[in-house]
A and B are shown apart, each in its own frame.
Chain A
Amino acid sequence: MSSISEKTAQDVERALARPSGRVTLEDFQALISPAAEPYLEQMAGLSHARTVERFGYTQQFYAPVYLSNVCSNVCTYCGFSATNQIPRKILNDQEISDELDAVKALGMDHVLFVTGEANLRVGVPYFKNAFKIARDRFSSISMEVQPMDQEAYEALIEAGLSAVLVYQETYNRETYAAHHLKGMKRDFDYRLETPDRLGRAGIKKIGLGALYGLDEWRVDTYYVAAHLRYMEQTYWKTKYSLSFPRIRPHEGEFEPKSVMTDRDLVQLICAYRLLSPEVDLSLSTREHEVFRDHAYKLGITTMSAGSKTNPGGYAVDAQTLEQFEISDERSPAEVAAMLRAGGYEVVWKDWDSTYDGFPGVGAVNRGQRIPAPV
């Protein structure tokens, strides 16, 4: 923390003067330091310009789909913690199908499957089956579930998996141990090495991040940045995305060690964009409407909308069993309209499963296939 808090205005100005793509980790420390706070408007301007240069005036949409909230971990901050007495649910085939139909009807073409950790009942066979159901409806399928072995990822990639999001929660071992009390998630190193297993498995995209507030948020953001840099150098064919889950004060019986304010979050979004012109930056419906309506121009490239964070939440009306409370409850169409009014186009589709050798979404007549090269 000391090296970040010791950064000066001069360090910040040096970082801001770097040409696009040449910002270092040292520069990043300056950009997320308190010394950068007076420069927020300038950072926002630069971040906006660099994002537009790389991504154009577009935002990608995705829909989280909770398949199961059964979880064998005990984590102090999570609604699905094993010790919480809530009704547990694992969606069956029909329920998955109904859920996906409801999501498809909202216009979505990219789903993010989310589950708790329950490897016996919700493991590779369960996911393979879920992908099979999803593949003829969605062009992209991502996952945010328990960390798995490399072989498991290879099997799922073969079955249609595009991206995996796995947040380290915090890179501070002691803090990590204090919040993960029981279950497989206690293993800090196994989780930390998950992105490497994903890279070796050849996944298209990996999502990194931390739960800001478990520890000093500035320190965790730096570790995420360092992790990103390491991954980019090592697995150079993989795309990356970053997300910004942050703990609100007074949530349940749990007080965060540090609080990331809205202003801090904007500073972080801009700092990541300056660090990496090409990383995807994702903003979920956890953030409130007003924030999202302004933040999307500051470096964000992908957003969820119309999210339901309970298993079966799209098909069934009841808002029960949620993992976290949603602050932006607007439908995808409403958020799309907001973006259009701001001069942005929504990208619903950014892949085609025919590229992976699957028959593809929709009614295209496949005709003669040419054999792939050996």
Chain B
Amino acid sequence: MNDEPLKIAGKTFESRLFVGTGKYASGAMMRDSLEASGSQLVTMAMRRVQVDGSEDNIIDYLSRERYHLLPNTSGVRDAKEAIFAAELGREALQTNWLKLEIHPDPKYLLPDPIETLKAAEELVKAGFIVLPYIHADPVLCKRLEEVGVAAVMPLGAPIGTNQGLATRRFLEIIIDQSKVPVIVDAGLGVPSHAAEAMELGADAVLVNTALATAGDPVRMSMAFRLAVQAGRIAYESGQGARQQQAVASSPLTAFLGE
């Protein structure tokens, strides 16, 4: 384990904090928060993006030199709608990167695994770089890996609930088994949640609600930035204490001598 930057689909990211653009009080507030976060990858719901050149567009506040844009398909209820949304993102933002987000249930906004797998397969074949948002289902992650997604984005808790890593045990399994980057997305409510995810070995985290609805979004973004850095450094430094414990105690076999 060393300090390698994050690589997704051949692109390098120095920052492991990805951010969303929803729920902000204003475009200016969003812009300032994003800057404070140090993030290099930003998601936006294509249903919100004015593609006909109208004024006051989310996109206007995002410098493409600074941010890699990741359109998301939030709002769609099935694979068919998701594919249309993906096309819109590709044409309107001139990128084949896509956050695939299909949540038919408006109450809990939980992702539909079946529609997501279906859509992911089609979209990868069509040349998209697909980052699917899913429940923390280890088997689903491997299935998605098989169809060629560039990363997996398992949730920590339902969107906007700020509950942290409710799916912790399953995130551990996913991180253990995954050959593609694992980005923990949704439910991260405070910086310590983000640090925790990074300590588990997540490659990155995505945060939106916690920043946009904070009392001071700019300072909260700074806090998350530091937490993600801290968590990653901790992970890379190894969990020293635990290793010592395992090595030092062998009461069962000590009687055998060396």
- Which residues does A use to contact B, with CB under 8 Å? 52-58, 139, 204, 232, 236-240, 278, 340, 343-345, 347-352, 354-357, 360-367, 369-370, 372-373
Contacts and interface: CB of A to CB of B under 8 A. Distances in A.
B50 A349 contact: yes
Contacts of A237: 77, 104-106
Interface string B87-104: 110011000000000001
**Most chain B CB within a 10 A radius of its CB, from A349, A361, A365:** A349
Given A52-B213, A345-B24, A366-B91, 12 more contacts: A53-B213, A56-B22, A57-B212, A139-B47, A347-B48, A349-B54, A352-B85, A354-B87, A355-B85, A361-B52, A365-B91, A372-B80
A62 to B, nearest CB: 15
Contacts of B148: none
A343 B50 contact: no
10 contacts: A52-B23, A57-B23, A57-B25, A349-B49, A350-B48, A361-B52, A363-B52, A370-B87, A372-B122, A373-B119
Contact of B83 (A340, A343, A344, A373): A373
Contacts of A345: 24-27
B107 A232 contact: yes
B23 A349 contact: no
Contact of A354 (B77, B84, B123, B209): B84
Nearest to B115: A373
Nearest to B119: A373
Contact of B47 (A52, A56, A352): A352
Tier of interface size on chain B: 35 or more
A232 to B, nearest CB: 7
A55 B23 contact: yes
B76 interface: yes
Contacts of A204: 77
A58 B84 contact: no
B24 A57 contact: yes
Contacts of A365: 91
Interface of B: 22-27, 46-54, 75-77, 79-81, 83-85, 87-88, 91-92, 104-107, 118-119, 121-123, 126, 160, 162, 209, 212-213
Contacts of B47: 139, 349-352, 355
A66 to B, nearest CB: 25
Contacts of A343: 25-26
B51 A360 contact: yes
Contacts of A57: 23-26, 212-213
A373 B122 contact: yes
A52 B48 CA distance: 18
A360 B52 CA distance: 9
Contacts of A344: 25
Contacts of A351: 47, 75
Nearest to B82: A355
Nearest to B159: A54
B91 A367 contact: yes
A239 B23 contact: no
Closest 9 CB pairs of A and B: A362-B52, A56-B23, A57-B25, A370-B126, A237-B104, A239-B106, A372-B80, A355-B81, A354-B88
A304 to B, nearest CB: 19
A356 B106 CA distance: 18
Nearest to B30: A345
A369 B80 CA distance: 12
Given A237-B105, A350-B75, A351-B75, A356 B26 contact: no
Nearest to A239: B106
Contact of B213 (A56, A240, A347, A350): A56
A352 B46 contact: yes
Contacts of A370: 83, 87, 122-123, 126
A373 B87 contact: no
Residue from A350, A354, A366 having most chain B Cβ neighbours under 10 A: A354
A325 B111 CA distance: 43
B26 A340 contact: yes
Contacts of B80: 357, 372-373
Contacts of B88: 352, 354-355, 360, 364
